[in-house]
Every structure is written in structure tokens, then in C-alpha cells.
Structure 1
Amino acid sequence: MPKTDYLNDPRAPKANSLVVAVTVFVQDDVGRVLLIRRSDNRLWALPGGAQDLGESTAQAARREVEEETGLHVELTGVSGIYSDPGHVIAYDDGEVRQELAICLRARPIGGALRTSDESSEVKWVEPETIEELPIHPSMLLRIRHGLKDDTPYLG
């Protein structure tokens, strides 16, 4: 389902749903960041997605990382909480969502990198090269906060 992200864009459609979502900032032992190239918009992003009914935020985070990357992770903390009403995501089915996104920190503990229906590429990226990739500003903000490794962002 193709999507378009809008950030503080006066031409953005009005949100018609609020969705709880997770993103996961995964770093390996040498400091590289796990990124996926999303199949729906071709942009690079942290793994993540909507939390399903009947699962906890932690379960959703581990599930999304495994589904999109093939890796198993151990969650280690909270990087930030993102709820900016100026960031909306429009889907081709008419849904326009505002997300309450919780970004968790994690480290890999198993599995093997692979793509999925949601990720056309998966790779470890050196922090100094991240900004060279096509990444939506809302996702880049989460990555920058993850790289700071300090007090969780609340916004």
C-alpha cells in the first residue's frame, strides 16, 4: 500500500485516524545502524510499523524488526516518543494517519539479514553516511535522536 509522508506541509490532507506505531533503533557492536529501504515509498527508515491489537509495544517492536529484517533483537530502552500532529501519513486507500510512534533502542541477538515484502533492502549503515541516503525528515529526526544516546525525546 503506497504511502506519502507529510511534515508541516500546508497541502497535507487532514488526518482521519490515530495509530500507535513502533520504530526500532538497532545498533550493532561497532555502532552501525540497521536500516531498511521501504517497499512502499522507496525511502530508508528504521524498522517498524503499527502495533497490533493483543500485543504489547515491546512485542510489536521485536515482531516488526524480525518481519522486516530477519534479525532478532533485545530491547534496551526508549529513544523517543513522536506524536507531532504536523506529521501525517496518507495511504492510497484513503487513510491519513497521525501516529503515536514509540522509538525503542535494541541490539541484535540473532537471525540473519534478509528482505521482506515491506523491505526491498536491509543493511547496516555507518552513522556518518546515514544523511547521504534518501530518508524522510521525520525518520531522520528519530535516527539523530537514537545516535545521541541520551534522555529520550518527547515530542
Structure 2
Amino acid sequence: MTSRIDYYNDPDAPPPNSLVPSVNVVVTDEAGALLLIHRSDNDNWALPGGAIDLGESIPAAAVRETLEETGVTCEITGIVGTYSDPRHVILYTSNGEARQEFSIVLTARPTGGEPTPSSESREVRWVAPRDIESYRMDRSMRMRINHYLQAAGPHIG
């Protein structure tokens, strides 16, 4: 049952009614594989991540969200970029929230734990960069991963 719908530049998208700072994390192992989750709310693959809580720093939110969604602990190592395109609207059908995109994407290395599904992730796995294209994901998530793989410096958008 889908409870999250991503719209991009879509005239049928609902008007945004919230803006929530969030993080995504590109965790890579020694072989360069990326840690991906198979999301429970929309059946897409994605980087771990979520909202930054009040009283929480950006790196602390990234570490917390990664552990909650994947079972893997990590250490933040850098930044991929910022993503705030108002044409990207995320609708949560459970409560009618229509969120304008606002995400900071960080890089990290794993420090412990094992990939373990959670209530937010049906599956968690390490994926080689060459295999990423075969995973179904929203265009904004694919763009974030591509920015990381291209290593062109922080994306500001």
C-alpha cells in the first residue's frame, strides 16, 4: 500500500503545505558499494534518510536515520549536496501532508552493524555502482546518487 507519492513538475501535484529539513546518506563500503533500502511506503529503492528532529544536528540525524532504517552505524565523511527544488512535491497519503523537497545529502562510511530491514525498509542491501540503474527509484533519488557517483563537488539546488 503506497503512502508516499513523489511528484516532479507535475500540474496535478498538490500544493505544498510543509517544508521539513531532511537528510539522505550515501554510505559506501570498502568496495565502493552503496547502502540502499527498499522503501516500505512507496516500493522504491533509496538512500537511507529522513527528517531532522528539533534539537538534532544534521550529522546526528544522518547517523540516526541510517541506523534506524538499515541497522548499520556510520560515520559522516562529507557532503554530496543540497536539494530544495520546489517542483518536487512529496505527498504522504496517510495524513495529507504535501512536502516541498528539502534535503541535505551526506556521505558516510560504515562503522558497524549489519543490513537489517525495519518498518521503513522492506530490504536493505549493499549495491555496486554498476548495478544501481537496475533498481527502481524516484528520479530525485537517482539524481542524488548520480551526483555522488560523478564526484563533481557539492550540488547546490
- Identify the TM-score tier after normalising by the shorter chain: over 0.9
Computed over aligned residues only, the root mean square deviation of the Cα atoms, in angstroms, reads: 1.0
Q: Which runs of 4+ in 1 moved over 3 A?
A: none
Q: What pairs up with 1:1-150 in 2 under 5 angstroms?
A: 2-92=3-93, 93-150=95-152
Scaled by the length of structure 2, what TM-score is found?
A: 0.96
Separation in structure 1 between the aligned mates of residue 149 and residue 28 of structure 2, nearest angstrom: 9
- Percentage of matched positions with identical amino acids: 55
Separation in structure 1 between the aligned mates of residue 10 and residue 28 of structure 2, nearest angstrom: 31
Q: CA deviation at 1:101?
A: 0.3
How many residues are paired up? 155
Scaled by the length of structure 1, what TM-score is found?
A: 0.97
Q: CA deviation at 1:99?
A: 2.6
Q: Which runs of 5+ in 2 are unaligned?
A: none
Q: CA deviation at 1:109?
A: 0.9
Q: CA deviation at 1:20?
A: 0.2
Q: CA deviation at 1:113?
A: 1.2
Separation in structure 2 between the aligned mates of residue 134 and residue 29 of structure 1, nearest angstrom: 24
Q: Which runs of 5+ in 1 are unaligned?
A: none
| Partner residue, 1:151 | 153
